[in-house]
């Protein structure tokens, strides 16, 4: 099966977690991925006053570098992220676009002074990755309380929602993936 998602890691050293995530995405969503490397330049992404990284500026680097790729592009990091209108974000993605980012910084129990919990971290990571993938496939925030596309402003909200789409969001997600597959099957090969 051809990969549909390219995953890049940035300051992320939990390789077993990444393997489990990739296997889970393939099993649950038939979404196959490959792990890629990239040399990030963080000079313009880091805000010293906030001590955080600008999410958009990071995923834009990957998008620019992979212009010819048809894959969805996702960065996974341990850096704390923000966008100018919010104090922090768990992730961000282009709506209906190709690139996004997810941070585990505030998904870690240790961020809140609690005992680390790898199972809980994996559940949270899966939810946030699916949420950002939903945005990449054109889904907006959903206000069904259990839908994975619900906005997450706190880690408690991440925990409260499920990893699944509600029926309406699932239909939109499936249709968007079908449309992309049809488009790619009709794309002529490019000379390299």
Q: What is the per-residue pLDDT across 5-16, written as a single tens digit (0 to 9) for each?
A: 999 999 999 999
Phi then psi for residue 134, to 5 deg, are -55, -45
> What pLDDT score was predicted for residue 23?
96
> What pLDDT score was predicted for residue 140?
97
Residue 61 forms part of a structural domain? yes
Residue 128 forms part of a structural domain? yes
Residue 71 forms part of a structural domain? yes
Q: Does 184 have pLDDT greater than 60? A: no
Of 79, 176, 69, 86, nearest in space to 133 by CA:
176
The 10s digit of each residue's pLDDT in 95-147 is 999 999 999 999 999 999 999 999 999 999 999 999 999 999 999 999 999 99
Domain region containing 143 = 5-185
> What pLDDT score was predicted for residue 187?
47
Rounded CA gap, 153 and 98, in Å? 23
N residues, the chain: 192
Q: What is the pTM of this model?
A: 0.91
> What pLDDT score was predicted for residue 37?
86
Residues acting as catalytic residues: 132
The 10s digit of each residue's pLDDT in 146-170 is 999 999 999 999 999 999 999 999 9
Residue 124 · residue 155 · CB < 8 Å: yes
Residue 21 forms part of a structural domain? yes
Q: Which band of pLDDT confidence, cut at 50, 70 and 90, is reported for residue 35?
A: very high
> What pLDDT score was predicted for residue 38?
86
Structure-token pair, residue 4: 């549909």
% of the chain beyond a pLDDT of 70? 92
Residue 115 · residue 128 · CB < 8 Å: no
Residue 192 forms part of a structural domain? no
> What pLDDT score was predicted for residue 33?
95
Tell me the CATH number at 109.
Answer: 3.40.390.10
| Number of domains the chain is built from | 1
Q: Does 36 have pLDDT greater than 60? A: yes
Residue 191 forms part of a structural domain? no
> What pLDDT score was predicted for residue 188?
46
Average pLDDT of the residues of the chain = 91
Residue 190 forms part of a structural domain? no
């Amino acid at each position: 099966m051809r990969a549909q998602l390219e995953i890049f890691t940035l300051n992320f050293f939990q390789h077993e977690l990444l393997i489990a995530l990739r296997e889970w995405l393939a099993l649950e969503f038939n979404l196959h991925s490959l792990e890629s490397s990239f040399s990030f330049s963080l000079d313009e992404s880091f805000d010293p006053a906030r001590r955080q990284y600008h999410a958009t500026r990071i995923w834009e680097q990957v998008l620019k570098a992979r212009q010819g790729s048809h894959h969805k592009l996702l960065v996974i990091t341990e850096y704390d992220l923000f966008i100018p209108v919010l104090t922090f974000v768990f992730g961000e993605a282009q709506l209906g676009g190709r690139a996004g980012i997810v941070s585990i910084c505030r998904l870690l129990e240790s961020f809140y002074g609690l005992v680390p919990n790898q199972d809980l971290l994996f559940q949270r990571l899966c939810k946030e990755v699916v949420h950002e993938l939903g945005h990449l496939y054109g889904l907006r925030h959903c206000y069904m309380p259990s839908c994975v596309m619900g906005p997450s402003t706190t880690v408690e909200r991440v925990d409260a929602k499920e990893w699944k789409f509600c029926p309406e969001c699932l239909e939109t997600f499936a249709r968007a993936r079908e449309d992309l597959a049809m488009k790619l099957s009709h794309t002529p090969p490019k000379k390299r």
